[in-house]
A and B are shown apart, each in its own frame.
Chain A
Amino acid sequence: AQKVTQAQTEISVVEKEDVTLDCVYETRDTTYYLFWYKQPPSGELVFLIRRNSFDEQNEISGRYSWNFQKSTSSFNFTITASQVVDSAVYFCALTLETGANNLFFGTGTRLTVIP
Chain B
Amino acid sequence: DAGITQSPRHKVTETGTPVTLRCHQTENHRYMYWYRQDPGHGLRLIHYSYGVKDTDKGEVSDGYSVSRSKTEDFLLTLESATSSQTSVYFCAISPGRGTSGTGDEQFFGPGTRLTVL
Are these two chains actual partners, yes or no? yes
Number of chain A residues close to chain B: CB under 8 A: 25
Instruction: Known A47-B107, A52-B103; judge A100-B41 contact (CB<8 A).
Output: no
Bits for A32-48, please: 1 = Cβ < 8 Å to B, else 0.
01010100000111010
Closest to A46 in B: B108
A108–B42 CB distance below 8 A: yes
Chain B proximity of A115: nearest CB distance (Å): 27
- Give the distance in Å from the alpha carbon of A43 to the alpha carbon of B109 in the complex: 10
Q: Is B43 an interface residue (CB 8 A)?
A: yes
Q: Is B88 an interface residue (CB 8 A)?
A: yes
Q: For residue A18, which residues in chain B have a CB less than 8 angstroms away from its CB?
A: none
Of B15-23, B62-70, B94-102, the one with at least 4 CB within 8 A of chain A: B94-102
Instruction: Known A43-B111, A44-B110; judge A101-B42 contact (CB<8 A).
Output: no
> A83-99: which residues lie under 8 A (CB-CB) from chain B?
91, 93, 95-99
A-B residue pairs in contact (CB < 8 Å), sample of 10? A43-B111, A45-B43, A45-B108, A50-B105, A91-B42, A100-B45, A101-B104, A102-B33, A102-B45, A105-B44
Residues in chain B within 8 A of chain A (CB atoms)? 31, 33, 35, 40-45, 48, 56, 58-59, 88, 90, 92, 94, 100-108, 110-111
